[in-house]
Structure 1
Amino acid sequence: MNSNDTQFAAAASRAAFGPDFVWGSATSAAQIEGAGALDGKGPSIWDAFCREPGRINDASNIDVACDHYHRYRDDVALMKWLGLKAYRFSFAWPRVQPLGRGAWNEAGFAFYDRLIDSLLEAGIAPHATLYHWDLPLALHTQLGGWPSREIVPHFVDYAAEIARRFGDRLETIATLNEPWCVATLGYETAQFAPGQTNRAAAMQTSHHLLLSHGRAIKAMRAETRTKLGIVLNHTPAFPATELEADRRAARLDDGLNVRWYMDPVFRAQYPADVIEHLGADAPRIEPGDMADIAQPLDFLGVNFYTRSYISTQEPKVPAPGQQGFTDMGWEIYPKALTQHLVRITREYSPPPIYITENGMANADRIDADGRIPDAERIAYLREHLAALAKAVELGVDVRGYFYWSLLDNFEWNSGYVKRFGLFHVDYATQTRTAKDSAHWYRAFIEAQRVGHESPKA
């Protein structure tokens, strides 16, 4: 840390982040585990998607990924070195139940037993996600996947089994990660698995995801007392100009991305303006569904990366990008994090919030001396933590922050080209190397700890 960073860490410690604030990092099973067909694991829709020509930008797959399945102990040691007190990971549904229904795979459960034990031994609280996009392929080929209502009871059974087996050792369980991505990118734009282009199917998927979430929460309440919630990706929409067309378009974008998921979870209804916009593509809803979705939650996970800059003009007005863009082409705009957290607190009165993902892809390069100088990522981290501190000061109840991601990994349809990690991964050798941002985050977390220690007598 330079002097400015040290001053920022100390100020943040005093002003906003209390001694119990949780500092962590996050990953997901499909992106890091590898061991694709080992120990009884079944294939997922992403295994199949990777094998369809042209789907993945670098023509890669998830067979090996970061080999975390075999290297998890080393990766937990990296977390401990960082000073993390929490780690967010996901269970791979097809690893513990290869067909998504029927027999459980004890070898798969044993892996997560080992991982959770290693985390607890290192003093790191496990925060689990049940569904981070890797649907068992059999549920897609045999039942039709998420557009089919038949999938809901199978997800509920899976959730209850995880809660029964692991609930007493997990700090939190999130049902879903980013259902917007599952529905819209998977079933409407075809960017993600299973690669379909049907808006009606996408919207029906969104409803079945939310219904699965709500019913899973009810089932898990009977099995565990651990904190239960959901993780939503929020990309606040900003009109590019004051033109009425841009303002209407931004409102609709907000409706499809934010309100479509927040309103059912916290108000037991879908936004009327979006239902009207969808017309015949609006989902089929059965009596009792909305009440099932709107279950009381212990926490809300918010994934935040950027904002949407909405222009209806041709040519479109580009985002200003005064603080730059990430390697994904996403505008860096930390101010939106503060604004959005204040907004959703005011409008929805949610339970305590965790920032469950925040981070940037950067075109990292290894220097001749083996260093990985990623000043851009450090700036991104510093500015977003400052924005988060401001939100806390304004009264938002945020309990923790998880940087995405611990490791460079498989970035979905981008393959292995985009690097989000605090640790660089050489995919040929699986060597992990701490980037400068890892050293910065480690020092920041340590400054937080020291700043909250009681003075010695």
Structure 2
Amino acid sequence: MSTIQLPNTASLRSDFIWGVSTSSFQIEGATREDGRGASIWDVYCQNGTIKNHDTGDVACDHYHRYREDVALMKALGVQAYRFSIAWPRILPQGRGAANEAGLSFYDRLIDELLAAGIEPWLCLYHWDLPQALEEHGGWQNREMATWFADYTALVATRFGDRVKRFATFNEPSIFSLFSRSLGERDRSSEEKLHRMIHNVNLAHGAAVDVLRANVAGASIGCIHNRQPCRPSSSSEADAAAAARLDVYWNSVFPDPQCRGAYPESMRAAIEPHLQPGDMARICRPVDWFGLNHYSPVYVKADPVSMLGYGFGDKPAGAPLTPIDWPVDPEAFSDTLQSVHDRYGLPIYVLENGYGNFDQPDQNGAVIDTGRIEFLKAYIAAMAAAACRGVDVRGYFVWSLLDNFEWDSGYSIRFGLAYVDYASLRRTPKSSFDWYAGLIKAGQP
């Protein structure tokens, strides 16, 4: 057990939920087994641009080791687990005939979680679009809203007897801004970006309606990545670039979904894609706001980029994680406050965590003191926001396991448990024990 003291969480609700999060492509592996179709990330990995030419083919092999991973969660003491469904695992073509083997995998996972006393939080989409739908235009195609609704209906009718917590999307601002679907990111793609944003919002609204119709007692939200966008210098150009990115990063999805209107500065850009009734289709009642937060981003003007921004220098002397992300718990507290003030919904923090290059010591232990210090500071900042009246009801660490971190492959580790990718052995880190102690200390 770590000797780093626990933060004061007395201001949190008595029914506060502690959890962990993962996503399908990042941990499951088994990409060619039991009838699973290809996703856009399977195809993207094949071009060799991922660091070290890594792929998601095996990942953490969660598909075969899910029982071991649920046992880890039970040992950790979490009350909830947020995971995502791999759309191509249950609908290999993205639509049409369902794959019973894929559905059965999630049946087994959900049943294992419930047997362990852990509530499943199911995210419908964490970036692994079926490649078959990409070949029909992907998120550029307005029909995606219908296809996503049909996929949601399959999930809802199969799992809704046991799962009540549903998220429609994870981080739509991130997968739209940095999409595999946009091709070259020059000014000619701006129209594609706006079309994609609107189609994703339409799909969100359609999915909410499907879940309401098919799952008694459903509790529904969307998970938004929100990071303060700060100018990297005092120049007016950098300030304008930061403000522009802030709209695309932080507002263009939650504003229409929760407030019924796009941010004013981009309504003209979205207007060509609007059809009568669209805003009512998008703004459907949700039960909570899912927040992913890591750090502020520092922005500079870049007139040749698609949206006129680039990532600029961080302030000199600012504390950074080993992967060069700023450590700024106050920004987390401020973000919680701004979400509370703007959207008026209960907040669940569904990702927060610390990237590192962890390695076992000579005794095989993984001592990740930096991660513990980070979690302590950020949880304390969350508790301070709750003390001010922010309605925050849960906190999920990213992530349970070290995993495939997108373009970084397996080079960066966020897990509470270390994964030896050669043997696939899981080893709880010192942060695992610390978080277990925090959860236990908060129980009556």
CA contact (8 A) 2:4 2:373 kept: no
Residue 431 of structure 1, CA deviation: 0.4
Residue 187 of structure 1, CA deviation: 5.0
- Alignment TM-score, normalising by the size of structure 1: 0.91
Q: Could you say which residue in structure 2 is the equivalent of 1:442?
A: 436
- Relative to structure 1, is the Cα distance of residues 190 and 385 closer, same or farther in structure 2, using a 3 angstrom cutoff? farther
Q: Could you say which residue in structure 2 is the equivalent of 1:117?
A: 111
Is 1:346 matched with 2:341?
Answer: yes
CA contact (8 A) 2:36 2:99 kept: yes
Q: Could you say which residue in structure 2 is the equivalent of 1:239?
A: 231
CA RMSD of aligned residues (A): 2.3
- Relative to structure 1, is the Cα distance of residues 400 and 190 closer, same or farther in structure 2, using a 3 angstrom cutoff? farther
Cα separation, 2, equivalents of 1:321 and 1:33:
39
- Relative to structure 1, is the Cα distance of residues 385 and 316 closer, same or farther in structure 2, using a 3 angstrom cutoff? closer
Q: Could you say which residue in structure 2 is the equivalent of 1:149?
A: 142
Q: Which moves more between the two structures, 240-249 or 132-141?
A: 240-249
Q: Could you say which residue in structure 1 is the equivalent of 2:5?
A: 5
Cα separation, 1, equivalents of 2:252 and 2:322:
28
Is 1:83 matched with 2:77?
Answer: yes
Once the two structures are superposed, the pairs formed by residues 272-421 of structure 1 within 5 Å of their partners are 272-275=264-267, 279=269, 284-312=273-301, 318-320=313-315, 322=317, 324-349=319-344, 351-421=345-415
Residue 242 of structure 1, CA deviation: 4.9
CA contact (8 A) 1:204 1:282 kept: no
CA contact (8 A) 1:187 1:198 kept: no
Name the aligned partner's letter for residue 27 of structure 1. T
Q: 1:43 aligns with which of 33, 38, 53?
A: 38
| 1:294-335 deviation per Cα after TM superposition (whole angstroms, max 9, x unaligned) | 101011101001112234499986222756222432111111
Cα separation, 1, equivalents of 2:245 and 2:68:
42
Once the two structures are superposed, the pairs formed by residues 158-307 of structure 1 within 5 Å of their partners are 158-187=151-180, 198-224=189-215, 225-275=217-267, 279=269, 284-307=273-296
- Relative to structure 1, is the Cα distance of residues 411 and 313 closer, same or farther in structure 2, using a 3 angstrom cutoff? closer
Cα separation, 2, equivalents of 1:419 and 1:79:
18
Cα separation, 1, equivalents of 2:324 and 2:162:
39
Q: Could you say which residue in structure 2 is the equivalent of 1:133?
A: 127
- Relative to structure 1, is the Cα distance of residues 263 and 38 closer, same or farther in structure 2, using a 3 angstrom cutoff? same
CA contact (8 A) 1:189 1:197 kept: no
SS for the counterpart of 1:38 is coil
Name the aligned partner's letter for residue 194 of structure 2. M
Residue 259 of structure 1, CA deviation: 1.4
Q: Which moves more between the two structures, 421-430 or 259-268?
A: 259-268
Residue 73 of structure 1, CA deviation: 0.2
Residue 82 of structure 1, CA deviation: 0.5
Cα separation, 2, equivalents of 1:331 and 1:42:
38
CA contact (8 A) 1:361 1:418 kept: yes
- Relative to structure 1, is the Cα distance of residues 442 and 322 closer, same or farther in structure 2, using a 3 angstrom cutoff? farther
Name the aligned partner's letter for residue 42 of structure 2. D
SS for the counterpart of 2:223 is strand
Residue 196 of structure 1, CA deviation: 12
Q: Could you say which residue in structure 2 is the equivalent of 1:60?
A: 54
Q: 1:24 aligns with which of 19, 23, 36?
A: 19
Q: Which moves more between the two structures, 108-117 or 232-241?
A: 232-241
- Relative to structure 1, is the Cα distance of residues 288 and 4 closer, same or farther in structure 2, using a 3 angstrom cutoff? same
CA contact (8 A) 2:165 2:219 kept: yes
CA contact (8 A) 1:200 1:282 kept: no
CA contact (8 A) 1:188 1:199 kept: no
Mark the runs of 5 or more structure 2 residues left unpaired by the alignment.
304-309
Q: Which moves more between the two structures, 329-338 or 311-320?
A: 311-320
| 1:137-179 deviation per Cα after TM superposition (whole angstroms, max 9, x unaligned) | 11111x1111111221111011112111111211410011111
Residue 129 of structure 1, CA deviation: 0.2
- Alignment TM-score, normalising by the size of structure 2: 0.93
CA contact (8 A) 1:252 1:274 kept: no
Residue 397 of structure 1, CA deviation: 0.9
Name the aligned partner's letter for residue 284 of structure 2. Q
Cα separation, 2, equivalents of 1:48 and 1:311:
32
Residue 102 of structure 1, CA deviation: 0.4
Cα separation, 1, equivalents of 2:272 and 2:437:
48
Mark the runs of 5 or more structure 1 residues left unpaired by the alignment.
none
Cα separation, 1, equivalents of 2:302 and 2:92:
48
CA contact (8 A) 2:87 2:94 kept: yes
SS for the counterpart of 1:5 is coil
| 1:169-218 deviation per Cα after TM superposition (whole angstroms, max 9, x unaligned) | 114100111111221111577699xx998232222111111100001101
Name the aligned partner's letter for residue 231 of structure 2. P
Cα separation, 2, equivalents of 1:284 and 1:382:
44
Is 1:96 matched with 2:84?
Answer: no
Q: Work out the percentage of aligned pairs sharing the same amino acid.
A: 45
SS for the counterpart of 2:108 is helix
Aligned pairs, number: 437
Cα separation, 2, equivalents of 1:61 and 1:86:
28
CA contact (8 A) 2:398 2:414 kept: yes
CA contact (8 A) 1:36 1:64 kept: yes
Cα separation, 1, equivalents of 2:125 and 2:316:
33
Residue 368 of structure 1, CA deviation: 0.1
SS for the counterpart of 1:40 is coil
- Relative to structure 1, is the Cα distance of residues 48 and 197 closer, same or farther in structure 2, using a 3 angstrom cutoff? farther
Name the aligned partner's letter for residue 149 of structure 2. V
Q: Could you say which residue in structure 1 is the equivalent of 2:420?
A: 426
Cα separation, 2, equivalents of 1:197 and 1:304:
30
SS for the counterpart of 1:399 is strand
